[in-house]
């Protein structure tokens, strides 16, 4: 068998995958002398057995699905408990195994992403490395390439942690504009970034634009409209501002400013425009719909999905029929707009539901 394990992307070493596949082919066998079969040292194979048991991919004979990692944690030596006395091991079902590993890997990636977005101080340190090559203007950069400007805006939105403010005097958004902005905006709102935006009242005359503004409002963004605005302003986390180099001709590029005094002036301009604008919900004459939440039962099902590996077990724990349990699972996935159960668990963690 090739040592380059195909489950490496999910966090298993080549040896751990070989051991797992061995027990798939030979369910209910012991781990005794398996190191001889795999032509590896006893210590290496023992380490693989321990980790696979801790992950819930291997179970001692008689252990239930819900035992998994929890049961392993209670054993003095999860990998070898019962084996020395002739105990046997069985591999978890492949669907269960891949689901457990996927959920774990998504959680790890989410944690890594949070860590990546934190070291903002590195910007100052790296700018110091530029020395004499730092752009003139003391923290103001002029960009003339439109593609470069769009990329910078995407980067600033992606790494925003607290707040995004904007004044945008467009009269309509194209389908391409909306398709490009939707995932970035939704991601920011899911992460708890506050979005405040002022747009032209005329933008509400375009059905697609109005629908997208309502969608953002429903997700938690605060949208206001003004009858007459010409300013174009973007401010990220109150320390980086982007404005046109020439307000009368946006094709001439943009200025990216991080000078505290200049950013403070742009913030004051934004707040003045914001105070004079009208809330979108007031203009529409109806309150913004609350973001979808889970019912108490759906929340319990969500927690069960993250805790057990089989629907039958979850249904039994909650005292409902299997059909009812699966219906609630489908409702949870739909509410979270999740493609699968591990994805739902990740989104629920981002919202603080679990």
- Residue range 306-328, pLDDT digits in tens: 888 888 888 888 888 888 888 88
Query: Could you give the residue range(s) of every CATH 3.30.870.10 domain in the chain?
Result: 137-284
Helices then strands, each counted (H, E), the chain: 15, 10
| Lowest mean per-residue pLDDT among 85-94, 127-136, 237-246, 338-347 | 127-136
Q: Between these two residues, 135 and 142, which has the higher pLDDT value?
A: 142
Amino acid 167: pLDDT? 93
% pLDDT > 90, the chain: 21
Which of the following CATH numbers is that of domain 14-92: 1.10.10, 1.25.60, 3.40.50, 1.10.3470? 1.10.10
Amino acid 30: pLDDT? 82
Per the structure block, which two tokens stand in for 339?
A: 């493609």
82 has pLDDT over 90: no
**May I ask the CATH class of domain 296-351?**
mainly alpha
Q: Which residue has the tokens 């309150």?
A: 287
Q: What number of other Cβ atoms are within 10 A of residue 261's Cβ?
A: 9
Query: Could you give the residue range(s) of every CATH 1.10.10.10 domain in the chain?
Result: 296-351
Q: Between these two residues, 66 and 159, which has the higher pLDDT value?
A: 159
Q: Tell me if the domain spanning 137-284 has CATH number 3.30.870.10.
A: yes
pTM recorded for the entire structure: 0.46
Q: Pairing state of beta strands 163-168 and 194-200?
A: parallel
Amino acid 99: pLDDT? 87
Q: Pairing state of beta strands 194-200 and 240-244?
A: unpaired
15-30 pLDDT, tens digit per residue, is 999 999 999 888 877 8
Q: Do residues 184 and 154 touch, judged by C-beta distance below 8 A?
A: yes
The whole-chain average pLDDT of the chain stands at: 80
Per the structure block, which two tokens stand in for 147?
A: 């593609």
Per the structure block, which two tokens stand in for 323?
A: 């059909």
What are the two backbone dihedrals, phi and then psi, of residue 91, each rounded to the nearest 5 degrees? -80, 140
What letter would DSSP give residue 19?
Answer: H
Closest CA to 24 of 93, 101, 78, 102: 93
Q: Between these two residues, 303 and 196, which has the higher pLDDT value?
A: 196
Question: What is the mean pLDDT of the segment spanning 227-244?
Answer: 90
54-77 pLDDT, tens digit per residue, is 999 998 865 444 444 444 344 444
């Amino acid at each position: 068998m090739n040592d380059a394990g195909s489950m490496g992307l999910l966090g298993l070493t080549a040896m751990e995958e070989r051991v797992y596949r061995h027990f798939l082919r030979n369910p209910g066998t012991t781990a005794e002398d398996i190191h001889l079969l795999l032509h590896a040292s006893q210590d290496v194979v023992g380490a693989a057995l321990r980790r696979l048991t801790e992950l819930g991919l291997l179970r001692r004979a008689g252990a239930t699905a819900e035992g998994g990692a929890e049961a392993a944690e209670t054993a003095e030596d999860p990998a070898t408990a019962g084996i020395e006395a002739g105990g046997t091991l069985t591999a978890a079902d492949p669907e269960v195994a891949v689901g457990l590993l996927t959920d774990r890997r998504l959680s790890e990636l989410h944690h890594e992403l949070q860590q990546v977005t934190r070291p903002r101080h590195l910007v100052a340190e790296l700018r110091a490395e530029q020395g004499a090559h730092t752009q003139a203007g003391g923290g103001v950069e002029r960009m003339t390439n439109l593609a470069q400007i769009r990329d910078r805006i995407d980067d600033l939105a992606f790494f925003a942690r607290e707040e995004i403010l904007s004044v945008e005097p467009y009269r309509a958004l194209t389908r391409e504009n909306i398709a490009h902005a939707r995932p970035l905006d939704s991601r920011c709102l899911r992460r708890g970034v506050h979005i405040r935006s002022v747009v032209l009242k005329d933008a509400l005359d375009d059905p697609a634009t109005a629908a997208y503004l309502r969608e953002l409002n429903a997700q938690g963004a605060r949208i206001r409209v003004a009858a007459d605005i010409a300013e174009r302003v973007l401010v990220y986390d109150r320390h980086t501002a982007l404005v046109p180099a020439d307000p009368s001709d946006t094709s001439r590029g943009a200025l990216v400013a991080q000078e505290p005094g200049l950013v403070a002036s742009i913030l004051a301009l934004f707040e003045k425009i914001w105070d004079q604008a009208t809330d979108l919900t007031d203009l529409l004459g109806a309150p913004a719909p609350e973001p979808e939440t889970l019912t108490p039962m759906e929340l319990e099902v969500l927690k069960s999905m993250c805790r057990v590996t089989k629907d039958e077990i979850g249904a039994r724990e909650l005292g409902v029929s299997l059909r009812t349990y699966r219906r609630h699972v489908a409702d949870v996935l739909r509410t979270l707009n999740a493609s699968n159960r591990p994805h739902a668990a990740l989104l629920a963690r981002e919202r603080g539901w679990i």
